[in-house]
Amino acid sequence: AAIEKGGYDHFMLKEIFEQPSTVFDCLRGRVDAANGTITMAGVEANIEQLKNAQRILIIACGTSWHAGLLAEYIIEELCRTPVEVEYASEFRYRNPVIHKGDVIIAISQSGETADTLVAIEKAKEQGAIIFGIVNVVGSSIARASHAGAYTHAGPEIGVASTKAFTAQLAVLAIIALKLGYEKGTLDNKRFLHLLNELEAIPEKIPAALNQAEAIKQLAYKYKDARDFLYLGRGYNFPIALEGALKLKEISYIHAEGYPAAEMKHGPIALVDENLPVVFIATRDSYHEKIISNIQEIKARKGKVIAVITEGDDVITQMADDVIVVPAADELVAPMLSVIPMQLLAYYIGVAKGLDVDKPRNLAKSVTVE
């Protein structure tokens, strides 16, 4: 088993550290920034349906659902197609409105999640086109889809999804870029810029991973907290949700992810000197806004752990602790800002002496409803 883990203590840590190569593998042969091209057979073969879709519906569970939520923000920004994201378990039991020609993007690491699979069958019966984004080749969801793209992250053993998530984000970014370009809603200059930014992500991930030792120290500092709050805005809001989910799964500490501005409608009541609040506050178009949110937490004596872009002295002054990630365009930055979320959950779980690869009550793929 030690050999399988490649020298790491756990599969989860190995998989977190594999991300420079898994994201690279996911982009390879698909994104060519130098030539300004995207090659993705599943998208190209169905480009007319995608362009003409009145609506895109994304269905998934768990971490894959968080990838879907980020995709909603990116697809609406770049493609101007309305997107809805739904939990597969809700979708399958209600009476959703589906029009012929609606495109459904189903996201699943395992390709075996029962709720997602049944939701797909239901949507298919009503004339939707199913585009699957799946990690496990030949899995049930891959076979049930009309078209799709694999995430090529390799086998994920740790129950908490890490490298599959960043690969999902990479595939979804590729789809959004391609569709925006083909629809003409994304101009050539921004297309090329984003293509370059996406291609640069695998080279930037190691710098995020280099924070591991510092994050391990933070883990010991905060491991006895009873609750955590995770806040983000815009493209980093889904990363706040994912950060909270990772912590719950691995450390059994209660954590909530929230849109940073929405906290004043509830979670702010929890803030006192015992509450660590993780801000995903990389430099983006929401930066000034999130700085005021940090001030609101500090004014109530909360402990602020901020994930920031390198060189952000303003937040460094305000926060109790900072974790630094490289600069990137805000549309692709979540692929970097999620890395400290994974590491923080991992090291807190380890600090508490828990079995991070096999957390209690959870399964790698949930093949029953």
Applying CB under 6 A, the span of 40-48, 102-110, 201-209, 313-321 interacting with ligand G6P comes to: 102-110
Which single residue brings its beta carbon nearest to ligand G6P?
Answer: 62
Among 19, 22, 81, 108, binds ligand G6P (CB under 6 A): 108
According to the 3-state scheme, what is the secondary structure of the chain? CCCCCCCCCCHHHHHHHCHHHHHHHHHCCCEECCCCEECCHHHHHCHHHHHHCCCEEEEECHHHHHHHHHHHHHHHHHHCCCEEEEEHHHHCCCCCCCCCCCEEEEEECCCCCHHHHHHHHHHHHCCCEEEEEECCCCCHHHHHCCEEEECCCCCCCCCCCCHHHHHHHHHHHHHHHHHHHHHCCCCHHHHHHHHHHHHHHHHHHHHHHCCHHHHHHHHHHHCCCCEEEEEECHHHHHHHHHHHHHHHHHHCCEEEEEEHHHHHHCHHHHCCCCCEEEEECCCCCCHHHHHHHHHHHHHCCCEEEEEEECCCHHHHHHCCEEEEECCCCCCCCHHHHHHHHHHHHHHHHHHCCCCCCCCCCCCCCCCCC
Question: With respect to ligand G6P, which residue has the nearer C-beta, 142 or 281?
Answer: 142
**Shortest separation between residue 166's beta carbon and ligand G6P, angstroms:** 13
- Is 289 catalytic? The answer is no
Q: How far is the CB of 171 from ligand G6P (least distance, A)?
A: 13
Identify the residue among 34, 137, 269, 362 touching ligand G6P (CB under 6 A): 362
Residues in 50-69 at the binding interface with ligand G6P, rule: CB under 6 A? 61-64
List 161, 166, 293, 342, residue binding ligand G6P (CB under 6 A) = 161
Smallest distance, ligand G6P to C-beta of residue 298, A? 33
Residue 106 beta carbon to ligand G6P: minimum distance, rounded to whole angstroms? 9
Our CB check for ligand G6P shows the closer of 159 and 194 to be: 159
Nearer to ligand G6P, 168 or 337 (CB): 168
The span of 93-101, 103-111, 121-129, 294-302 binding ligand G6P (CB under 6 A) equals 103-111
Indicate which single residue of 159, 179, 208, 281 sits in contact with ligand G6P (rule: CB under 6 A): 159
Least spacing, CB of residue 158 vs ligand G6P, in Å = 9
**Which residues of the shown chain bind ligand G6P in the complex (CB under 6 A)?**
61-64, 108-110, 113, 116, 159-161, 362, 364-366
| Residues tagged active-site | 364
